[in-house]
Amino acid sequence: MDLVATVLLVEDDPSVREGLGLALRRQGHEVRAAGTGEEGVERLRESRPDIVVLDIMLPGIDGFETCRRMRAHAEVPIIMLTARGDDFDVVAGLEAGADDYVVKPVEPRVLEARIRAVLRRTVAEPSSVERHGSLVIDRAGLQVLKNDAKVALTPTELKLLLELSRTPGRVLTRQQILEAVWEHDYLGDSRLVDACVQRLRAKIEDVPSDPGHIHTVRGFGYRFGPR
């Protein structure tokens, strides 16, 4: 898969927009830019980008709300630009549905690495179809069915599920998951894993608060499989 993508950049500051746009184009990406959250949601519908880079501090609807509205339309990966690096911002952004985040002032290399990691997330594997109770995971078709209905997963959610279900019954630490799914080094933020597991449970579990597939192993990580 070619890792050159169409990037939708939602950022209100013209200089940052221009600077980041220039850097992204240099990497070969095609860049669509929007100055507000509303414009960003509009652009998402028209241009179907491969990835969204979304600033949190926006005039009008903020980044969190923009993220929620985008999630309602599409499973596109979203990378948040947090201006403060505040824990509150990070958690709120992940809850709103962001796949990853970078802290301003952004190192272009870091942003590029995150974009590539997100884009690499969905690679089809020549593998058979697995059935786990009411859940069907099709590794070749990159599809997940629950009670024979297709579950709409974001690339990150899908990759997380594929990673967890690859070794049923084995406990994966947050760190292992971070490295495998987010391609973060050891400095990664394990809250990314927790937030994504919550979203995944909401989509594939019958009762998300009493999961039947993805189990929390306190102090270690997560385990996929029957109780």
- Interacting residues toward other proteins by CB under 8 A: 13, 15-16, 18-20, 22-23, 26, 81, 83-87, 104-109, 174, 185-187, 189-191, 219
As measured in angstroms, the least distance from the Cβ of 169 to other proteins is: 22
> Which of residues 186 and 209 has its CB atom nearest to other proteins in the complex?
186
> Which of residues 134 and 190 has its CB atom nearest to other proteins in the complex?
190
As measured in angstroms, the least distance from the Cβ of 105 to other proteins is: 4
Q: What is the dihedral of CA 86, 201, 78, 69, to 10 degrees?
A: -90
As measured in angstroms, the least distance from the Cβ of 30 to other proteins is: 17
**DSSP run (H or E) holding 220:** none
Neighbours of 184 (CB within 10 A): 20
> Which of residues 106 and 172 has its CB atom nearest to other proteins in the complex?
106
Q: CB pairs under 8 A, 24+ apart, for 17-22?
A: 20/53, 20/106, 20/108, 20/111
Which residue has tokens 């070969």? 28
> Which of residues 103 and 136 has its CB atom nearest to other proteins in the complex?
103
